[in-house]
Amino acid sequence: MVFRQNYLENRFVNIRLAICLNEKELIGLLYILNIDYINRNAEFSIWIGNSIDRRKGYGEFGCKAALNHAFNNINLNKIYLKVLETNKAAISLYKKLGFKIDGISRESLFKNGSYHNVLEMSILKSEF
């Protein structure tokens, strides 16, 4: 019940979208989070669950639809994200969509026994 209440209280500033192959097969999720309606920006995230569903264009298609919604329906000006510097596939996708690297947060994530750099990227409405 707590999860449902939290979701209902935050759905104005967080949008969760499903990537489905058909009506019954969920393969991933897209998130537009922490929507700031005054400054017109939000955080972006994507997750494709099964590795066999990656690199097939589903993520790109979903990202384009989500970004279109963010920029043209919600009227945001900037979408930003964070991605591991070692996640070359994600970085390639984000660059293909028009995201630019804003900076690097050095050794800011501890994973699998070592520290990793995190890239901060963003795209503006005028770049989409």
Residues with a catalytic annotation lie at 94
Q: Report the SS3 class of residue 75.
A: coil
Q: How far apart are CA 105 and CA 82, in angstroms?
A: 9
Any alpha helices (H) in the chain, and if so which ranges? 2-10, 58-68, 88-97
Residue type, 112: N
The partner residues of 45 in beta bridges, in order of sequence, read 31
